[in-house]
Amino acid sequence: MDFLQAEYVADWLRTWGIGAYLISIALSVVVSVIGIIPSIFLTTANVMVFGWTPGFFVSWIGEILGAAVSFVLYQKGVLKLEEKLLTPKRKQWFKRIQYMSHLRQFSAVLLARVAPFMPSALVTFMCVITDIRFTLYMLATAIGKAPSIFLESVTGYGVSVLDERLVTIILFLLIIIFFVFFRPKKFRSK
């Protein structure tokens, strides 16, 4: 399983020269579609090869494109399996999500995407079954994947390499985002 090791992938990407950017993004799409392979090895390899900021953005773009391709492909396959796999009770649960406001649907997808190490395929599968709008799904994915990929980058690359101020600023922004979208009921205005 050397191909899932960041060092191996980083060495392999380096052999592609400038084409490594596109190869890495294509790999991210494949990892997203397969759905069972964690992407942290690729995020770490991207940071090792391209540097922290470009590596982060290559990973982020790859994850977003992978989410879009996965959504479309899963939609074609899931709709056929839906009748066979879902019991009437589970269908009711998914119907409740379908009838949520767009803001609540967006918030649910965003929360699932912000969680690092959350299987992307599971989030995408749930979104397809609940029939969430593609644009809503993509917006929540694009915003939610940024902190998740940041945490994967930090985990893979090591916190000691990053500037402490950058980590503090990003964590502060994440807390603000959390309270804007998911503030507890006691803090909401009536």
What is the model's pLDDT at position 181?
A: 64
Write down the pTM of the prediction.
Answer: 0.75
Mapping DSSP to helix (H, G, I), strand (E, B) and coil, where does residue 104 land? helix
What is the model's pLDDT at position 178?
A: 67
- Residue pLDDT, tens place only, 117-128: 678 888 888 888
More confident residue, 79 or 3: 79
**Judging by beta carbons within 10 Å of its beta carbon (0-12, 13-18, 19+), is residue 168 exposed, middle or buried?**
exposed
More confident residue, 159 or 42: 42
Considering only 5-19, 43-57, 93-107, which range has the smallest mean pLDDT?
Answer: 93-107
What is the model's pLDDT at position 154?
A: 74
Considering only 66-70, 99-103, 105-109, 173-177, which range has the smallest mean pLDDT?
Answer: 173-177
CA distance 138 to 65: 9
**Are 28 and 65 spatial neighbours (Cβ–Cβ below 8 Å)?**
yes
Q: How confident is the model at residue 20 (pLDDT cuts 50, 70, 90)?
A: very high
Q: In 3D, which of 69, 1, 78 has the Cα closest to residue 38?
A: 1
**Judging by beta carbons within 10 Å of its beta carbon (0-12, 13-18, 19+), is residue 13 exposed, middle or buried?**
buried
Structure tokens at 123: 């989030």
Q: How confident is the model at residue 108 (pLDDT cuts 50, 70, 90)?
A: confident
Q: Is the pLDDT of residue 162 over 60?
A: no
**Are 141 and 64 spatial neighbours (Cβ–Cβ below 8 Å)?**
yes
